[in-house]
Structure 1
């Protein structure tokens, strides 16, 4: 039977077949996917083949994983030398950000966007908590809105408490598989509970089979949307470690830089000290914002050259 992975706790998975039947699933033996080394061989969003193990307890064995159209990965929070696949087979990803209580840094936003670009997943930035923004935050929002929309990203300003912008957000999710991400406290759970009244209790319980003592918030989970489509909720992340991106490749994932790369004098240009650099010229002329260039520089400096 073919099924979709809705939740993973590391050793057990919740899967759902096309007819809506839910099974607790596990992997038999060692399960490796060629070319991918990650802490989790199977991720939420994966399409898998399952076989019955115990029909009374509704447990199944995962025997095969079907090809992914894409996935998003980050550096494993437990091992910096490994990466963790957050979710797979995505149509888009929504990054929830806030300019106050807590403040999401531009560096975090840019790292997330780079990751989405590198895995070919369209990204949308949702600035939440508009109801608590004062003049300073609203001016910052306008600046960020102009900067990101100019390079092709969709930006939304919403308030869960005032129900502002929620309808547009829900429309954006319709009939799509969407990954939700962001720091803890930015309002992802509040948004999910607004779409699914009564879900709050279910997201906090730990069922017996999934591993006692484990926090459900440490694992991604997929939910079916009432009108079609799915959302994948992820635990709040403190930092977003980039996976398998070299210093040489980094500028390819800045859309405003990517289109200028072929105009640089040197084809291995890092856009720092090299002569005849089209990217630096664009920064000087205001065609690339200084903030994005500084962000690029800071991320470039953080990439360990020893890995490449």
Structure 2
């Protein structure tokens, strides 16, 4: 039998077959996919082949094969730094939810995520969420960040689930696609999903006032069929995003504004550090590319962990 994985709990997989029926499945043995050392060999969105086996009065599915993936989104495993965690597979579009505060989303996180989705060929839309809750200075920061990312080709939307702002625009982008919502805990993923499809009625929780962080309401990635010919993958909140196995000479290619300039660098293998006649460094000095993006590039290049120090502040952008 063939089906698609709709939910993974780590040990059990809920698979929808070609007739629309769901089956609880497990795997037997070890799955290795093209050398990927992953904590979860099977992910939500995977196309699989499975067989049903009788266990007493129950039928349990056993996954035998994973079909080739069109793409997948992967990050470093939280507890096992040398392994990876596949967030989802076969994704057409990702919506990265960003909030300026409550909780804050830092540019280091945004850029790491965009590097990964670009490397794995997944289109990404930036969603500036909860815009109804911001004061003037915070609105200015949103506009500033939108200018940065729209200039390098990313679609940016200002959204409010409570005021129904741009919900239809998101639904239009999602139609006929498998989409994924990603962001820190508390950025409003579940509330936004409920605004898009109220019948799902997913659980939400309030932000922790003490730490300005969200409570983890989604514990496992799960895919849902929507009423307007679309599918959505709801994911657990991500605290940080570790970039996986990125060759240092290819890293700049995943920053579109760097890639556009590299042909003008003196050296083909320019790392945009201290090399002479570097077009990226020249553009940086001329304020044609963002300092926050360049800092993110250096941070990933040097193998540093993501830190709050790298948040963009519109009032001191050129410092550092």
Task: Indicate conservation of the 8 Å contact 2:194/2:202, yes or no.
Answer: no
Match of 2:254 in 1: 253
1:214-233 deviation line (CA, Å, top 9, x unaligned): x9833211011111121111
CA distance 1:295–1:216, shift in 2 (3 Å): closer
Structure 2: how far apart are the matches of 1:7 and 1:40?
12
- TM (norm. structure 2) is 0.87
With over 3 angstroms needed to count, the CA separation of the structure-2 counterparts of 1:2 and 1:93, relative to structure 1, is same
Q: Note the 1:52-131 alignment, pairs <5 A.
A: 52-54=52-54, 56-131=57-132
Unaligned segments of structure 2, at least 5 residues:
206-215, 306-320
Secondary structure of residue in 1 paired with 2:70: coil
Q: Would you say 1:220 and 2:221 are equivalent positions?
A: yes
Deviations 1:111-150 (A, max 9, x none): 1101111111011000001111111011111111111111
Q: CA deviation at 1:46?
A: 0.3
Shift of 1:202: 7.3
Deviation of the 1:272 alpha carbon: 1.2
Counterparts of 1:150 and 1:108, CA distance in 2: 19
Where do residues 115-194 of structure 1 align in structure 2 (5 Å cutoff)? 115-194=116-195
RMSD: 1.9
Change (3 A) 1:74 1:284: same
Structure 1, 7-16 or 29-38: larger mean CA deviation:
29-38
2-side partners of 1:275 and 1:202: how far apart?
Answer: 55
Q: Does the 8 Å CA contact 2:218/2:234 hold for their aligned counterparts?
A: no
Larger CA deviation: 94-103 vs 256-265 = 256-265
1:67-104 deviation digits (Å, cap 9, x = unpaired): 00100000001211100111001111110110121111
Q: Is the 8 A contact 2:174 2:230 kept in 1?
A: yes
Question: Aligned residue pairs: how many?
Answer: 294
Whole-angstrom CA distance in 1 between matches of 2:202 and 2:142: 33
3-state SS in 2 of match to 1:3: strand
1:285 is matched with 286
User: Is 2:191–2:204's contact at 8 Å kept on the other side of the alignment?
Assistant: no
